[in-house]
Amino acid sequence: MATSIPKEELRNLVASLADCDPSRVLWDGEPVPFLGPDEEGRTGCFVLNVTATRAVGIDEETIEYGVEVDSVLYTRVTYSGVRVRTVQIRAEQYDDEEGFDLLEDVRLGLRSTEASDALRAAGLSLHSLDDIQNIGGSADNRATTFANLDARFNQKVSSVKLFDPDTKTYIEHVELTGQGGMVLAGLVKVDAPTD
């Protein structure tokens, strides 16, 4: 798994929930294409933006020794944790249909079984949804309706690193000694073997 949010999967999900072409769903910072009216006469688009990331709980580190890659044994260290990603979905409309109506379709759809399956396939799950905020305005001397919906998604993130054991130290043996009924363990480290 990666640490970034699956942008294409979210773009396609929002497009399917809004019943529009994926070219009308953009990530903030992407070039805005010229958008003429679609088959239903709508002239707007959706803009997605990750506005926050919050860690949940404590991250975990797992170590696996003797992982074979191309006939070489490595030590694999995996760091993993759970994040809550806040994705702002903004509807920008330039016709009579209100942006908040389009976002209501998206919000209702995000709670569906189909959306849950699509999110699961992308490594996400729905955490929560905020209220839709209606924002009026103008763009290019045209009246517009902007509306925002903050959707939060759970995502497991992980990072894997391989370490060459020839560059690390080894535990040669463990010395156990008993004193007064207690067992004390001491690790004896040696440098990696040289050829």
pLDDT tens figures, 99-130: 788 899 999 999 999 999 999 999 999 999 99
* pLDDT at residue number 27: 95
Domain presence at residue 95: yes
pLDDT tens figures, 15-51: 999 988 898 899 999 887 776 667 766 667 899 999 9
Domain presence at residue 72: no
For residue 66, pLDDT beyond 90: no
**46 vs 63: CA distance, rounded Å:** 42
CATH number of the domain where residue 92 is located = 3.30.70.1700
- What's the number of domains the chain is made of? 1
* pLDDT at residue number 176: 52
* pLDDT at residue number 65: 81
pLDDT tens figures, 117-176: 999 999 999 999 999 998 876 666 666 778 999 999 999 988 888 877 666 554 454 555
For residue 190, pLDDT beyond 50: no
The whole model's pTM is what?
0.73
Domain presence at residue 23: yes
Domain presence at residue 124: yes
Domain that holds residue 85: 7-58+78-160
**97 vs 158: CA distance, rounded Å:** 42
C-alpha 4 chain-centroid distance: 5
Domain presence at residue 73: no
Domain presence at residue 24: yes
Instruction: Note whether 129 and 153 are within 8 A (CB).
Output: no
Phi, psi of 103 (to 5 degrees): -70, -30
Beta bridge partners of 9: none
Select the more confidently predicted residue: 187 or 160: 160
For residue 192, pLDDT beyond 90: no
C-alpha 65 chain-centroid distance: 28
**155 vs 122: CA distance, rounded Å:** 9
Tokens representing 116 are 């849950």
Domain presence at residue 185: no
* pLDDT at residue number 174: 52
Burial class (CB in 10 A: 0-12, 13-18, 19+), 91: buried
